[in-house]
Chains A and B, each alone.
Chain A
Amino acid sequence: MKYIYSMLGTVLLLASCQEKEALPTAWTFSRTIQLDGVNPIGIVEMDGKLWLSDGDQNRLVQIDKEGRIEQTIDSLDRPMHLDAQGATLFVPQYGMDNIATITDGSLGVLSLKDSLDAPAGFSVFKNEKAIADFYNNRILYHNGTDWISFGKEGRAGGEFYYPTDVQITDSLIWVADAYNNRIQVFDKNGSFVKMMGQDQKMNAATGIFVSETEVFVSDFENDRVLVFDMDGILKQEISKNIEKATDMLLVDTELYVINYRNGQLNIFELAEVDPQANEQVANKKE
C-alpha cells in the first residue's frame, strides 16, 4: 500500500513539474502610427530616436512616438535606406551618387575612390561598411581596411538585378536583391553563401532587416513582409496593414514596418498563437 502511495505521489509530482507546452509565437499587429506627409523608404534608430528617410521630399525626419516630426534635415537628394552609428547618420543619396554623413546637423560626404550609380542602401557595423549600388548591380564593402566590390548584373547566385538594401552582421553580408526577388547572403570576402525567398514569388524585395534569429524582407508590390529563419525557411508572412513596405526595424521587442505609399509605421509584437489558427499566423490583411 505504501508502495502504491509512493508511486502515485511520484506521478503527481512529475505531472505538476511538467512544463506547460510553449505555443508558437508569431509577429502580431499591435498599432499604427500615421505619419503626416512622409513617404518613408528607410528607418533607423539613433540615440533612442527614430529617423526616416523621406525620398519624395528629399529629407530625413526624426519622429516621436506618436509620429510627430521633431527634426528635419532638408536638401538631400533622394535619401534611401539609411543607417546610423554613434552620433552619425549615413544616408545614401540616390540622386547624388554619394553617401551623406550627418553628425550633429553637420553634413559631410563619405570619401570613396569608386563611383556609385544610385546608391540605395547602406549598412554600418563596427568598423565595416557596405553600400547597395543599385544601377551598378554590386555591393561595395569596406572591411575596416579596404573596400572590395562584388556582384554584377545577372540571375545566378552572386549576381544582382538592382540591389536596394544591405545589412552586415557578425560574419555575413545580407542583400535585398530587389528585382531578382530574393535575398542573397555573402561572406566577408564577397563570396556567395546562399539565397533565400527565391521561391516565394516576391515582386521587388526592396528592404531587408536581419535580427539574431530572423530575416525580414519587404515584398513591395505584394504588400507583405516575409519572415525567414536564418536558414531561409519561411516562418511567417505579415500582410496586415502592409502597403508598399520599404523597410523594417526591430526596436527592443517590437517590429517596425514602414509603408511607403500611405506613410504608415505599423508596429508588430511577438505573441503566442494558436497553431490551428492559420489566419492569425499568416496575419492576413483584414
Chain B
Amino acid sequence: MRFNRNKINMMKKTIITTLVIGMMTVFAANAQKGMDKFMVQVDGLGCPFCAYGLEKKFKEFKGIKDVKIDIETGDFSFAYPAEKELTMAAVEQQVEKAGYTPITSKIERANGKIEESAAAALSENNTGTVTKNLMVAGNCGMCEARISKAAKSVAGVSEISWDKGNKMMKVSFDAGTTSLSEIEMAIAKAGHDTKNHTAEIGTYDGLPACCHYERIAK
C-alpha cells in the first residue's frame, strides 16, 4: 500500500512536469508566432568588422530579434514583428546600404507564407554558349559577390566565377544573346574595372572600404 502511494506521488510529479514543459512549449511557440523570419545570404562576409557592421545596420530596425550571422557562409538571419510588415525590398535595401550585395533572400511569414528571391535567374537559352576569361579588378569576397551579380544580371550569362587571387573571371554566355563587352560594361557599372572598361570614379568611391582595389591602369 505504501509502495502504491509512492508510485502515485511519482506519477503526479511526472504529470505536473509534463504539463509545465507543455505549457512552456506553447508559450514559446506563441512568442514566435507573431514574428516573421528573414534569411538573407550575403556572400563575402569574411571580415568580422564588416559582418558586425551589417548586424549593426540592422539594429536600426527596432524590434529586431534573434540576429544570427555566419561569417563563413554569409548566412544572415533575424526575426521581426509580423505586424510591421517588413518587405523583402526593404531588407535587401538595408543590406546594400551597409555596403553588401544580397545574393538570395527568404522570408517565412508568421502566417506560414514563404517569400523567396534570387538575385539573378540563369539564362534558359544556352544556344551557342561560349566561355571566356577576362581580368576584373577586385579584392575580396564582397567584390566577388558584386562581380558575379553584375555579370549574371546580363541576359544570356549562364555561369560566372572570379578568382580573387589572380583577378581572372571565367564567364559562360550565349553569344547570340550577349557579348563579352556587354558583360564587362555591366561589371564596370557595378564599380569594377575590367580589361576594357573602367568603373566611374563615383561608383568606385562608393564601394565598401575593403573593396577598394588597385585600379587597372589604362
Contact = CB atoms under 8 A, between A and B. Distances in A.
B167 to A, nearest CB: 13
Contacts of A138: none
A284 B48 CA distance: 25
B46 A55 contact: no
Interface residues of A, number: 26
B71 A164 contact: no
Contacts of B71: 39, 56
A164 B49 contact: yes
A207 B209 CA distance: 16
A118 B209 contact: no
Chain A contact surface mostly: loop
A56 B53 contact: no
A41 interface: yes
Contacts of B106: none
Contacts, number: 53
Contacts of B210: 179, 203-204, 221
A228 B47 CA distance: 24
A55 B56 CA distance: 13
A246 B140 CA distance: 16
How many B residues are at the interface, by size bracket?
A: 10 to 19
Given A56-B71, A204-B210, A118 B56 contact: yes
B43 to A, nearest CB: 15
Contact of A221 (B46, B56, B212): B46
Nearest to A164: B49
Interface in A89-126: 94-95, 118, 120
A41 B209 contact: no
Contact of A206 (B49, B59, B72): B49
A179 B212 contact: yes
Interface in B43-61: 46-49, 52-53, 55-56, 59
Q: Lowest 4 CB-CB distances: which A-B pairs, in order?
A: A179-B209, A78-B52, A162-B209, A55-B48
Interface of B: 46-49, 52-53, 55-56, 59, 71-72, 139-140, 209-210, 212, 214
Interface of A: 39, 41, 55-56, 78, 94-95, 118, 120, 134-135, 161-162, 164, 178-179, 201, 203-204, 206, 220-221, 244, 246, 260-261
Given A134-B53, A221-B139, 9 more contacts: A56-B48, A118-B52, A118-B53, A164-B49, A203-B210, A204-B47, A206-B47, A220-B47, A260-B48
